[in-house]
Amino acid sequence: MNGFAITVCAPSGAGKTTVCQALLRDSEELMFSVSATTRPKRAKERDGVDYRFVTRDEFQGMIERGELLEWAEVHGELYGTPRSNLEQAEREGKLLLLDIDVQGASQMVDSLPDTVTVFLLPPSFDVLMERLRGRGSENASWLERRMQTAKAELEELPSFQYVVVNDALEDTVAAIRAIVDAERQRPGRRLGELDKLRRELEDGLSG
């Protein structure tokens, strides 16, 4: 099968990171795309696992050398997807799972047109606000900023291929797995693998 990338986007507070982690836990075929970022590391994060933490100069160098499939500035920090993540996934026969922002998703589609794009929605405004407030790291201006970003991101929903309402985690994971399974069956992704069977059927039918 040909490899492809799955991009999961959501407004801040829709539970995207939890969903991606749950997906990765029970899907051997998926590989998490570790982004490069200039933002400071948070307490529980590990360099090279959650993110590759780099300086602004290092990030700039990656842009100039064409090493990023996409990149964007989010809340004043730079985030980007190294091209090498995709190469590694292809080498390992895995599908690359990206947890990136909405601006990055449209660039991914430009760089790799067969990228699968999934938009996660929180189930209600109350749940969105509860999840945003529950993060504990925010003050009023932080919250206001995230709400503005969420509003702008929501406007991009129609440009995505799939939308999943993230209410119960296991249902969301099942829905995304179903999307991935269906996408794997697209003829364009399976042509090489199905050559032998097609030849046999064609030979038999013309014989």
Residues of the shown chain interacting with ligand 5GP in the complex, contacts defined by CB under 6 A: 35, 39, 70, 72, 74, 79-81, 99-101, 103-104
Q: How far is the CB of 81 from ligand 5GP (least distance, A)?
A: 4
Rounded least distance, CB 148 to ligand 5GP, Å? 14
Q: Please state the three-class secondary structure of 133-169 as a single string.
A: HCCCCCCHHHHHHHHHHHHHHHCCHHHCCEEEECCCH
Q: Which is nearer to ligand 5GP, 130 or 195 (CB)?
A: 130
Report the residue number, 75 or 199, with the smaller CB distance to ligand 5GP. Answer: 75
Q: Which residues, 6+ apart, have CB-to-CB distance to 87 below 8 Å?
A: none
CB nearer to ligand 5GP: give 106 or 184. 106
- The side-by-side arrangement of strands in the sheet containing 30-32 is 30-32, 95-99, 5-9, 116-121, 162-165
Give the nearest distance from C-beta 29 to ligand 5GP in angstroms: 21
Give 19 or 173: the residue with its C-beta nearer to ligand 5GP.
19
DSSP state of 41: P
- Minimum gap (Å) between residue 205 Cβ and ligand 5GP: 48
Determine phi and psi for 173, rounding to 5 degrees: -60, -45
